[in-house]
Structure 1
Amino acid sequence: MRPLGSPAGSPPPVGPYSPGILAGGWLYLSGQIALQEDGTIVPGGMREEARLIFSRLKEMLSQARATPSHVVKLTLYLTDMEGFQGVNEACAAFFSPPYPARVTVGVKELPRGASLEVDVVAYLGEDSH
């Protein structure tokens, strides 16, 4: 297993976890929220949160020599389903067909007052250990 570091411009993890782990051709990225360097959520609502999150996910994928096309599973956690359309737009801008499998979960709250959290599973292939 190989851990990945935090994306540039984000604070370090606030708990005992790795931002990402590469294991046996699979990449598991921990849930990302739109934290700025000062530890606050990016202003502008769920659409802006999604833009920052997907930018950071792209950077983390790059650390593992991967691209969004390697993502096979995406989980979205939303505190307000009214923001679903903006998140869908961010997903459409980030991914291209064939799109990854996806789960969307409505939750009561997220850390630091975030309205969106996203985690990713990517397959990099057998030669990526």
Structure 2
Amino acid sequence: MLTLQPAEWAKPRGFSHGVAVDGPGRWIVLAGQTGGDEKGDYAPDMAAQVGTALRRIVKLLGEAGAGPEHIVRLTWYLTSREEYQAAGAEIGAAWKETLGRNFPPSTLLYISGLVDARAKVEIEVTAFVPKV
């Protein structure tokens, strides 16, 4: 994968502007993952829910023989700008724990709610595993 970063643009923090994928491989598309655990329970705070959603993503990628380094796109749906901004340090720690230093293209959207009213975040993922 080639990270798209025009030389004259400031390098973004926590994401990349785009990636180009060339060659044979396998695409993986995950449904939006929320912060609900295996039993369907939700922590009350956004940071914990983001951590759970990211762990679910890593688990699903593993099922497909992939890892965080194969993610080429994230779309985040968040129910509160204020909660997201207040939880920045904890969300950053959850990111580092699960996705490491991988910063794929990301889009964050603030919405009025998700299907499960307890959910504060849902994250969609597209990944690409090149053939070796």
- TM-score scaled to structure 2, two decimals? 0.68
Residues of 2 paired with 1:123 and 1:37: CA distance?
26
Residues of 1 paired with 2:38 and 2:100: CA distance?
29
Task: For 1:108, give the aligned amino acid.
Answer: S
Q: Identify which of 119, 124, 127 aligns with 1:122.
A: 127
Query: Which residues in structure 2 correspond to 1:95-110 (within 5 Å)?
Result: 95-110=99-114
Segments of structure 1 that go 5 or more residues without pairing to the other structure are 1-23
Is it true that 1:32 corresponds to 2:36 in the alignment?
no
Structure number with greater Rg is: 2
Residues of 2 paired with 1:94 and 1:35: CA distance?
16
Contact map agreement 2:68 2:102 (CA 8 A) in 1: no
- TM-score scaled to structure 1, two decimals? 0.70
Change (3 A) 1:78 1:88: farther
Is it true that 1:90 corresponds to 2:94 in the alignment?
yes
**Ranges of 4+ aligned residues in structure 1 off by more than 3 Å:** 36-39, 86-89
Change (3 A) 1:103 1:36: same
How much has 1:82 moved relative to structure 2?
1.6
Is it true that 1:57 corresponds to 2:57 in the alignment?
yes
How much has 1:116 moved relative to structure 2?
0.4
Residues of 1 paired with 2:92 and 2:38: CA distance?
26
- Higher RCO (Cα < 8 Å, 6 or more apart): 2
Segments of structure 2 that go 5 or more residues without pairing to the other structure are 1-24
How much has 1:104 moved relative to structure 2?
0.3
RMSD: 1.9
Percent identity, please.
Answer: 27
Aligned to 1:111, the other structure's residue is in SS state coil
Task: Tell which deviates more after alignment, 45-54 or 91-100.
Answer: 91-100
